[in-house]
Amino acid sequence: MPRANRRRREEPRAVGGSLPTSVRYAGGEWLVRALTGAGSARGYLCPGCEEEIRVGTAHVVVWPADGVGGAAHRRHWHSVCWQHRERRRPLGPIR
């Protein structure tokens, strides 16, 4: 069976790579963690450039530090797009 069927925790903190760091962005606090991409099962759409993050590409995952919204508010960004996030579009409505 595909590993995607496995139940996953909302916060991807135990999947290797670095520990999350907290960042202030768009009026809120976010946790950011670098992913190697090695464990990716699918591509993601980067909100910074609206291009696909291809499977196996190192990137960052960002989610609200307060946990509101959980996985639905998690965003995968190209590492470069996240570094230049102030020049990119915001993540969407922040409540």
Site residues (CB under 5 A) for Zn ion?
46, 48-49, 78, 81
Output DSSP code: residue 80: H
Closest CB to Zn ion among residues 35, 81:
81
Closest CB to Zn ion among residues 31, 60:
60
Could you tell me which residues come within 8 angstroms of residue 83 by beta carbon, excluding any fewer than 6 positions away? none
The least distance separating Zn ion from the CB of residue 44, rounded to whole angstroms, comes to 10
The least distance separating Zn ion from the CB of residue 49, rounded to whole angstroms, comes to 3
The least distance separating Zn ion from the CB of residue 46, rounded to whole angstroms, comes to 3
Closest CB to Zn ion among residues 31, 81:
81
Closest CB to Zn ion among residues 46, 60:
46
32 in Cβ contact with 82 (< 8 Å) = yes
The two three-digit tokens of residue 2, written as one number: 């595909």
Give kind and range of the element (H or E) at residue 22. strand 21-25
The least distance separating Zn ion from the CB of residue 56, rounded to whole angstroms, comes to 15
CA distance 32 to 10: 14
